[in-house]
Structure 1
Amino acid sequence: MTLRPPVEPMLAQAVESVPGSGVLGELAFEQKFDGYRALLFTPTGTAGRLLVQTRRGTLIQDRFPGLLTAAQQLPAGLVLDGELVVWDQQAGQLSFEALQRRAAARSRTARGLATSLPAYFIAFDILQQDGTELLNDPYRQRRARLETLFATHQLSSPWTLCPMTTHLDKAQEWLESWTDMSGVEGLVVKAMNQPYRTGYRGWYKLRRRNTTEAIIGAITGTLTRPQLLLLGRHDPHNHLRPIGRTTPLRPEAAHLVGGNLTAADPGHPWTGLRFTSAWGSRDVLDVTLVHPDLVAEISADTAVDRGGVYRHPVRFKRLRLDVTVDDVPRLRACPAAAAG
């Protein structure tokens, strides 16, 4: 049976460390790129054109004309799973913000952006070849097919083969060194004998996390029992700018933080700002502003916008009562007024 969009991709669950191979068997480690998850479909015959589907099932190929032009490199009846990324030529790095611009562009604008912000498709799985489904094949065989596809057809830009290794030492090197580069945020761990199960969280994602500090500027919940912490940093002009929020606090952490919070004085720098429940969400949080004199030590992944805003919730580790807000790293640029 030929696969047609929409197809639910297989998903990954977040973990803190590499799962043991005792249960999963031999493991494969792929580099995790910070882009848009996408499935790519080539027509099964001479008619039709390339289709690019997002994780949620939307077709977006018209926003990436460079991929349509390069589709002639690909054979018919093919379905690939991968990550869409965009290279910002001016900044000289992969850019999630640039990817958002490309994804929102239409017709003439999309063609114009294709030159300055070229898109690439990083393939990490093959779900169909020559019109034949491969979902029940183990990952080991699908990966071998994918590598052969790239070699046989000499696929080149914008098609890229996702780096993979079965060596833990190599994977740890990637996690420690490659994640210093913009656009690479960790590893995806897969079992070599796994079939592809659509919509199932059967893979594991491990993001590199860094420990740093931020200023507590607002909370959800109450002053005595906060639930989330809204965090900020000073910009070069000494303005306190929102940079993100924590995951829900554990009871002991909430008790500790609540015992040190004080209500905000008039003229708090975030007066009138709205804070959303997640990055890119429109759901507004009910927050209480607090006196911005407490410093939180946090654990955060490397997905940070150019303005310094964390795209994923960070984890609260402890209060740093031994340091002041002047010791907190400053922003290099001013992020947007509201934090996600």
Structure 2
Amino acid sequence: MLGQTPARCVLDGEIFLAVDGRLEFDLLSQRIHPAASRVKMLAVETPASFVAFDLLAVGDDSLIDEPFSVRRARLEAELADVSAPIHVTRTTTDAAVAEEWFGIFEGAGLDGVVAKPLAKPYAPNGRTMLKIKHARTADVVVAGYRLHKTSTDERPLLGSLLLGLYADDGKLQHVGVAASFTDTRRAELIDELAPLVVGAGEDHPWAQWQDADAQASSRLPGGQSRWTGTKDLSFVPLAPSRVAEVGYEHMEGTRFRHTAQFKRWRPDREPQSCTYEQRGSCEVRSRHRSWGKLTD
């Protein structure tokens, strides 16, 4: 791979893994593993690729203070002859083309498109670009919560709601969490959800979350992973009788890729109606910001 790039350069880009034309983030994350032998095995079985977004330096030339239009031209020139597994991201100044990409590339697992001002220099640790993403909502079952890291016995605060959808086998699958509440709302939710707390010995769909075999056969909240390490992931189980509408950007496999955003309670929905079939019929809204930013 390095043989295709300039001997001395600084590239801004991203490693990705695609299977049958679709990005697979979960497969890529498996490389975060302490065993070098496993990483080498995965590199052979599911090789990763690299896509370049920007060129910050080449040889003795720093391009950080140059406008993006200049950096992009140099990137295309320096990587003109590269081939897989190295790629150069597509760009356009045509709003109609960008909108077309916004729709068709969703099927490949992309969140949306990025708009960069052509006249701006590179901004380390800053963001001058716009991310235009798909926005969706789904109705999910709230089946538990975790306490906030600042929660105390004197003033318990809710940290995140644990969300579920019913799979074809009738089991409630853990699909992610909703968070980002104010402290006032965190305290209110503790009291609001208190009547739903499931006591010890009572039945709950995720009661086996600490069991290794159960974790292996069905993704349950609380299981340790390469991401969580020894972090305490215990939660307060709730009777799965409340439905919430949440906003999310993308579903990776059977789970939300990022933290969902709580919208409202849905007392008009039955929990059993919250299934994965929503993926094909849920509301999709484009966050159309100023496409003119593409050519500023």
Q: Where does residue 136 of structure 2 map in the other structure?
A: 210
2:49 pairs with 103, 114, 120, which one? 120
- Specify whether residues 101 and 289 from structure 1 end up closer, same or farther in structure 2 by C-alpha distance, changes over 3 A only: closer
Residue 193 in structure 1 maps to residue 119 in structure 2: yes
Which structure carries more helix by proportion?
2
2:167 pairs with 221, 224, 235, which one? 235
Q: Which amino acid aligns with 1:121?
A: F
Q: Where does residue 280 of structure 1 map in the other structure?
A: 227
Q: CA deviation at 1:94?
A: 2.1
In 1, the alpha carbon distance for the partners of 2:180 and 2:65 equals 38
Q: CA deviation at 1:110?
A: 4.1
Q: Where does residue 297 of structure 1 map in the other structure?
A: 245
Q: Which amino acid aligns with 1:194?
A: K
Structure 1 unaligned runs (5+)? 1-66, 332-340
1:121-136 alignment, distance < 5 Å: 121-136=50-65
Q: Where does residue 267 of structure 1 map in the other structure?
A: 203
Q: CA deviation at 1:122?
A: 0.4
1:55-70 alignment, distance < 5 Å: 67=1
Q: Where does residue 5 of structure 2 map in the other structure?
A: 74
8 Å contact kept, 2:115–2:129: yes
After superposition, the C-alpha distances for 1:279-330 in whole angstroms (9 at most, x for unaligned) are 933433563221101111111111x333x12231101112221121121124
Percentage of identical aligned residues: 27
Aligned residues: 255
Q: Which amino acid aligns with 1:137?
A: E
Q: Which amino acid aligns with 1:310?
A: F
Q: Which amino acid aligns with 1:87?
A: A
- Specify whether residues 288 and 85 from structure 1 end up closer, same or farther in structure 2 by C-alpha distance, changes over 3 A only: same
Q: Where does residue 176 of structure 1 map in the other structure?
A: 103
- Specify whether residues 248 and 109 from structure 1 end up closer, same or farther in structure 2 by C-alpha distance, changes over 3 A only: closer
Q: Where does residue 324 of structure 1 map in the other structure?
A: 270
Structure 2 unaligned runs (5+)? 210-220, 278-296
Q: Which amino acid aligns with 2:78?
A: L
In 2, the alpha carbon distance for the partners of 1:80 and 1:212 equals 38
In 1, the alpha carbon distance for the partners of 2:158 and 2:5 equals 53
TM-score normalized with structure 1 length: 0.65
CA RMSD of aligned residues (A): 3.3
